[in-house]
């Protein structure tokens, strides 16, 4: 057996708990095991479903027939934990009292106080915890650590993790491992490390995977850092809100007109709104009339998680760099349409993620690290050689499902 300790720090508020989401937050081993499962799947876009499940259960264990225990044990130990409500966490002094930071309410939709529910309670940024891993099969250790690398560079933990809440970074490991060196000093260094690591994974999947996964069609871009997590989240949240509500360039105004025609005159749309690429359900509310419309999966599915993932990475000196990722996959299971209410009309699910790509590309100062990258030379630090300017094309293999 091999033992390992992973020290983690929360960069953004962490809303993690059990079945009762309004109770005090918890740090549960089962939750972290589930996160590692998710990212392990994301690293295997090319496996057919039966093989994916068999290999996943061999690593993480399963409760079914002929499924044994996990190849590793995981414990969570924590020090002093401080928690605050969502509404407290996003407020800052403005000189006229404490008000929500722009963009954070949008990213944290559903976490704040409502008519029916109190504000969610979460762990404050800076919360530290340890994962204690015991590998019964040391030969599987690398797979677990690769999953943890993805969690701490591309994703997050808990509620609204795809919108940047619950972003975690590794601060130290015992024993040390090359996967988690000291914190990067700049977003250039972070992008360089991430590009090198992703290329080494030899991810291929040129067709859309059936599940959320890294593949040759994924996009990852690192943005310049902001002073702290509040500034970083506010910057990205305000930009995403403006983009999706057409305040940026009006590109989704046709969506809005189409849905307004539906609720005002009953005119049925011939297609799904472009913005459903960001996930389902997708809701409209028209203040003038008090009427609403909803786009959701047909049949028994209630939602489709967003393929846009936002992570916030802590750099040396305390600055925070946003990382935007598009992990495209089949939008809905084969044969499933989207349903538009009122009216119940079904239309084909989208097959293209161009609206999300345009949003990522709107950050022209970002560094593309996958599948290609722009120059990694900082304006204050010229490139050492032309090989630093352009990434080698990724080597290709097949793809998985989520």
pLDDT at position 204? 66
The pLDDT of residue 289 is 86
C-alpha–C-alpha distance, residues 357 and 172, integer Å: 34
Enter the pTM of the model. Answer: 0.90
Residue 28 within any structural domain of the chain: yes
The confidence band for 287, taking pLDDT boundaries of 50, 70 and 90, is confident
In a domain, 309, yes or no: no
Give the model confidence (pLDDT) of 171-229 as tens digits: 999 999 999 999 999 999 999 999 999 999 877 666 788 899 999 889 999 999 999 99
18 occurs within a structural domain: yes
274: in domain? no
Distances (CA, A) of 242 to 14, 302, 362: 25, 26, 12
Per-residue pLDDT at 376: 44
CATH at 92: 3.30.70
pLDDT tier, 58 (very low <50, low <70, confident <90, very high otherwise): very high
Quote the pLDDT of residue 116. 83
Residue 21 belongs to a domain: yes
Whether residue 8 lies inside any domain: the answer is yes
Q: How far apart are CA 339 and CA 346, in angstroms?
A: 4
Report if residue 92 sits inside a domain.
yes
Spatial CA neighbour of 307 closest among 190, 165, 206, 211: 211
Confidence grade of residue 354 (pLDDT, cut at 50, 70, 90): very high
Mean pLDDT of all residues belonging to the chain: 88
Number of separate domains in the chain: 1
Whether residue 268 is contained in a domain is answered as no
Is the pLDDT at 390 greater than 60, yes or no? Answer: no
Q: Are 341 and 280 in contact (CB under 8 A)?
A: no
Q: Which domain holds residue 88?
A: 1-182
């Amino acid at each position: 057996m091999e033992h390992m300790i992973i020290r983690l720090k929360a960069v953004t508020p962490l809303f993690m708990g059990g079945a009762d989401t309004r109770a005090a937050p918890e740090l549960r081993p089962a939750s972290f095991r589930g996160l590692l499962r998710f990212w392990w799947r994301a690293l295997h876009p090319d496996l057919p479903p039966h093989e994916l499940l068999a290999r996943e259960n061999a690593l993480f264990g399963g409760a079914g027939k002929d499924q044994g225990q996990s190849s590793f044990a995981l414990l969570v130990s924590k020090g002093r934990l401080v928690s605050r409500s969502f509404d407290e966490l996003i407020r800052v002094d403005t000189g006229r009292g404490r008000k929500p930071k722009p963009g954070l309410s949008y990213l944290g939709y559903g976490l704040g106080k409502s008519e029916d529910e109190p504000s969610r309670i979460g762990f404050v940024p800076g919360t530290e915890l340890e994962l204690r891993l015991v590998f019964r099969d040391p030969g599987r250790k690398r797979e677990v650590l690769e999953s943890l690398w993805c969690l701490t560079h591309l994703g997050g933990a808990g509620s609204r993790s795809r919108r940047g809440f619950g972003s975690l970074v590794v601060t130290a490991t015992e024993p040390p491992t090359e996967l988690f060196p000291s914190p990067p000093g700049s977003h250039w260094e972070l992008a360089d490390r991430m590009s090198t690591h992703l290329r080494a994974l030899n991810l291929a999947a040129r067709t859309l995977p059936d599940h959320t996964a890294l593949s040759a069609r994924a996009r990852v871009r690192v943005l310049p850092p902001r002073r702290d997590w509040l500034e970083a989240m506010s910057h990205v949240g305000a930009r995403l809100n403006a983009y999706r509500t057409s305040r940026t360039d009006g590109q989704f105004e046709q969506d809005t007109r189409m849905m307004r025609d539906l609720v005002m005159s009953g005119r049925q749309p011939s297609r799904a709104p472009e913005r459903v690429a960001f996930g389902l359900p997708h809701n409209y509310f028209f203040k003038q009339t008090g009427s609403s419309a909803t786009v959701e999966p047909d049949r028994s599915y209630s939602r489709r998680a967003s393929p846009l993932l936002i992570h916030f990475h802590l750099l040396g000196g305390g600055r925070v760099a946003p990382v935007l990722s598009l992990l495209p996959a089949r939008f809905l299971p084969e044969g499933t349409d989207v349903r538009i209410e009122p009216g119940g009309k079904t239309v084909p699910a989208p097959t293209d993620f161009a609206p999300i790509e345009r949003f990522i590309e709107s950050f022209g100062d970002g560094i593309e690290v996958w599948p290609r990258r722009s120059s990694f030379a900082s304006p204050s630090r010229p490139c050492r050689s032309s090989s630093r300017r352009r990434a080698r094309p990724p080597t290709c293999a097949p793809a998985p499902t989520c």
